[in-house]
Structure formats: C-alpha cells, structure tokens
Structure 1
Amino acid sequence: MDILIFSTSVNKPEDVEQVQPILTSVQAIEDWNFDLEDCDNILRVVSNDLPPKYIESLLNNAGFKCEELAY
C-alpha cells in the first residue's frame, strides 16, 4: 500500500466535490482526502501501484494544479 502526497490548487469544499467523482472512479485508489487547512492544500491518496503522474494528470485535466510532494 502506497501513500502519495500532493500539493494542489483545490482550496474549498466545492472544489473537493468537483474532483470527488474523478478520484472515486479509480479502482486502484483505496482512500483519499484533502487537507484544506494546510497551505499546500494537501491531497493524500492511498493506493496500490498507482503512478503519481496519473493522479497529477487527473486533477490537471479537471482544471486544478497538482504536484507530488517528496516526503
């Protein structure tokens, strides 16, 4: 199980509602959540064998910035 962490431009609950159907439709994602209190509007994704670039492209295609953070 991998935990991927991203900095995003998702910054309000309405944005989360917009990306929710996108993230929940990916079967390889076990769980995900946003921390909108963090200055980087963190997205955490729990998955098996999912490349970070895939998550980045999903959010970018939805109109949001998304970049994996090293940890």
Structure 2
Amino acid sequence: MIEVFKTDVQRVAQAKKLVTLLLQNFPKSKINFDLDDCDRVLRVEGEDFIPEKVMMLVNENGFLCHMLA
C-alpha cells in the first residue's frame, strides 16, 4: 500500500525528525518527504501502517497532514 499526504513541513530537519518518529511506529515502511513539491508531500509505502495514525503523529508534532486523493 502507498499513501501520499499533503503537509506543511518546511525544513529538512523537521522532515527528518518526522521520518524518524514514523519509522519508530512503522518500522517496515518506506517513508520520505518531497519538500520541493507545492504540497510538501509525505509518502509512506508499506503493509503495516495506518494512514490515520500517520496523520495523527504528524499533527501531534505541530504540522498539518491530510491524505491526498
């Protein structure tokens, strides 16, 4: 499964912190940001992650995160 999320993450350091956090919760997933995209895309690929939990974790760390259709 692959899910793509729109975020408001601006800095590489912020993205790295979130990737580390998300990998702690979903260690078998591939997770990355595209901060050059206008939607500051977060891409999560794997079988064991829950999209709602991804959004919750990002939101709890002070960033907006919405699933893209």
Pairwise same-fold verdict (TM > 0.5)? yes
Task: Provide the alpha-carbon RMSD of the alignment.
Answer: 1.5
Q: Which runs of 5+ in 2 are unaligned?
A: none
Tell me the CA shift for residue 23 of structure 1. 1.2
Match of 2:54 in 1: 55
Aligned-pair distance for 1:66?
0.4
Shift of 1:30: 1.6
Number of equivalences: 69
Q: Which residue of 1 aligns with 2:18?
A: 19
Read off the aligned partner of 1:3 and give its amino acid letter.
Answer: I
Task: Name the counterpart of 2:44.
Answer: 45
SS at match of 1:23: helix
Decide whether the 8 Å contact of 1:5 with 1:44 is kept in 2.
yes
**Greater Cα shift, 28-37 or 51-60:** 28-37
- C-alpha displacement of 1:26: 1.8
Amino acid in the other structure paired with 1:41: R
Higher strand share: 1
Instruction: Note closer, same or farther for the CA distance 1:66–1:29 as it changes in structure 2 (3 Å cut).
Output: farther
Unaligned runs of 5+ in 1: none
How far is the alpha carbon of 1:49 from its aligned partner? Answer: 4.5
Runs of 4+ off more than 6 Å: none
